[in-house]
Structure 1
């Protein structure tokens, strides 16, 4: 199948990249045997704009996308986070290719009002919309063209290729990486943990409290040197919602502490993720697993195995394709609504 994948591909970061769920989807489609062409809206807009001023290249980027669709003649168009691309351009692609199927993917949280607006807008033109929050919260988008689906945060064996669960002598006991401050008070929680755990273990907070953020290869190295990780989201309690951090930690074999209110216990097997109710409960759990390294390694290994066998990029990509085209599922995907 011929696939046109529209998403920001970080071309102008020149290696200093964030781990990208869109890149994993791209890889997964290729691993499933599809011919995939990528279109990076932000990069094309900058390349086509006078003096490289991206905002001046929006119109040209939409024109170039339509040209690419005409040249490629895709069977499936996957639309990720690409705000530069207008619905009108997607409608033009559909008029040009009446048989084409269009899937929308959104990996951002629903507690951000502007993101809700973006999903609503895309649901008017795509055939299927995939969102990283659980099924229940997606009912607000019903009544438009798009059928609605949950999609998990996948791992990819080429990206999450380390295994901290298989190592004992690691220099970092606990890690938290983030420099996002909007729509959240989680930095206060991290600060409380730093204060309480001071002197007990090595706790690195890259991007916060004076520690520089890490990107690209530096981020990979930091995860590979860490035993346990905090999966703190900007807001908690959204069904099956997590930032992509959960896959980055779990896929690399770190033990994950995550809030119980997201309901991941109905998705993940027992003795994988570690669920906390409040900060004092979390402190006790951190100390418990820090003192019992065999237990830490066993739970982390089970989490890593589950991610790589049941939530990998190949399965995720095939699920998106099958759901959009309305064909029978080729695998009993663990995140399907029961």
Structure 2
């Protein structure tokens, strides 16, 4: 456990302001397990005072009829006021697209000693997200993404960039499916169907006797097919959770569902492309290249019961490799340009401008 003296920040100011995410207005508890919440707890356990500011919620509440763009000016003004009052030692930006470049520039002018970092969990290798991440990198002293390798390295022209795994926090989201005798689903998936439905449909055809719990969100902005505590409960009663990808993911990239699947104690079924077995270690997941290989491997593991041991080992390794306190301490060190503890192996994925 981290202590105050182990951290590189000024002992008299350990306040960290985390900016981003919409919790109260849009999701209202449906995503209590979101990365933003995991990292808040991680920073607290790392010995800092973590304060939250949602640009989206602030804009929604400030605008007539909750028209977000009309509340954008108010959100930026509120952030400036909060920074003046709080005087944080560091500010973390996560997908806070409503915060303008001018606001960040003003914060730097008024508070020249503050460290600004960003962290990004969307796929930076696709065109839609490239410019978003590049903007945050250019605004920050250091930035982190859940993508590694060449796909991350190319952003070094905008600033310092490093890899971070999708964080796990057992106090927020945890179950031990591998300890259960009775399960609700043999296979589980929750998310948007685009780019994934063909794999899931083919798997159902290959294993018609298996119970598949596939919860599909109809479209962006629509209500989740499953969320909140129900998502946690059903996932924790599923044997194999499929981390189906939209496309061929780059090195180490996955959506944050991989952390939720490990946390629930399921056997994670993971496409080969991202090479996540190199991140979490051998015998931690079921790797596959197509639906046929997934069906063959899964059926063997389900019939023998060996899926439980792999799921147990996967959860242990995932918690060790990617717990939110570890990630927060690493971020703090990078912001301070110091090393206060033994960094994990994945910290080698760091590229300076």
Same fold (TM over 0.5): yes
Stretch of structure 1 that moved more, 320-329 or 310-319: 320-329
2:317 is aligned to 306
1:322 alignment partner, SS class: helix
Q: For the Cα contact (< 8 Å) 1:66–1:89, is it kept in 2? A: yes
2:121 is aligned to 107
Q: For the Cα contact (< 8 Å) 1:3–1:35, is it kept in 2? A: yes
Deviations 1:128-171 (Å, cap 9, x if unpaired)? Answer: 01011113211221223x21100100110112221111122212
Tell whether 2:267 aligns with 1:251.
no
Which residue, 208, 211, 217 being the options, matches 1:202?
A: 211
Q: For the Cα contact (< 8 Å) 2:24–2:57, is it kept in 1? A: yes
| Shift in CA distance, 237/44, structure 1 to aligned 2, threshold 3 Å | closer
Tell whether 2:232 aligns with 1:220.
yes
Deviations 1:224-251 (Å, cap 9, x if unpaired)? Answer: 1111110112112310001111110011
2:253 is aligned to 241
Which residue, 171, 175, 181 being the options, matches 1:168?
A: 181
1:219 alignment partner, SS class: helix
**TM-score of the two chains, using structure 1 as the length reference:** 0.93
Q: For the Cα contact (< 8 Å) 2:180–2:237, is it kept in 1? A: no
2:295 alignment partner, SS class: helix
1:152 is aligned to 165
Stretch of structure 1 that moved more, 125-134 or 156-165: 156-165
Q: CA deviation at 1:305?
A: 0.6
Distance 1:17 1:52 in 2: 20
Distance 1:224 1:194 in 2: 21
Distance 1:262 1:43 in 2: 34
Deviations 1:283-315 (Å, cap 9, x if unpaired)? Answer: 10111111111x111100001111222211110
Tell whether 2:291 aligns with 1:279.
yes
Tell whether 2:110 aligns with 1:120.
no
Deviations 1:72-113 (Å, cap 9, x if unpaired)? Answer: 001000000111011211111111110010001110002431
1:11 alignment partner, SS class: coil
Q: For the Cα contact (< 8 Å) 1:176–1:205, is it kept in 2? A: yes
Distance 2:340 2:253 in 1: 23
Structure 1 unmatched ranges of 5 or more: none
1:143 is aligned to 157
How many residues align? The count is: 330
Distance 1:224 1:192 in 2: 24
2:117 alignment partner, SS class: strand
1:62 is aligned to 76
2:278 is aligned to 266
1:315 is aligned to 326
Distance 1:55 1:9 in 2: 14
Deviations 1:191-221 (Å, cap 9, x if unpaired)? Answer: 111111112x111101269xx7101111011
1:10 is aligned to 23
Moved runs in structure 1, 4+ residues, more than 3 A?
none
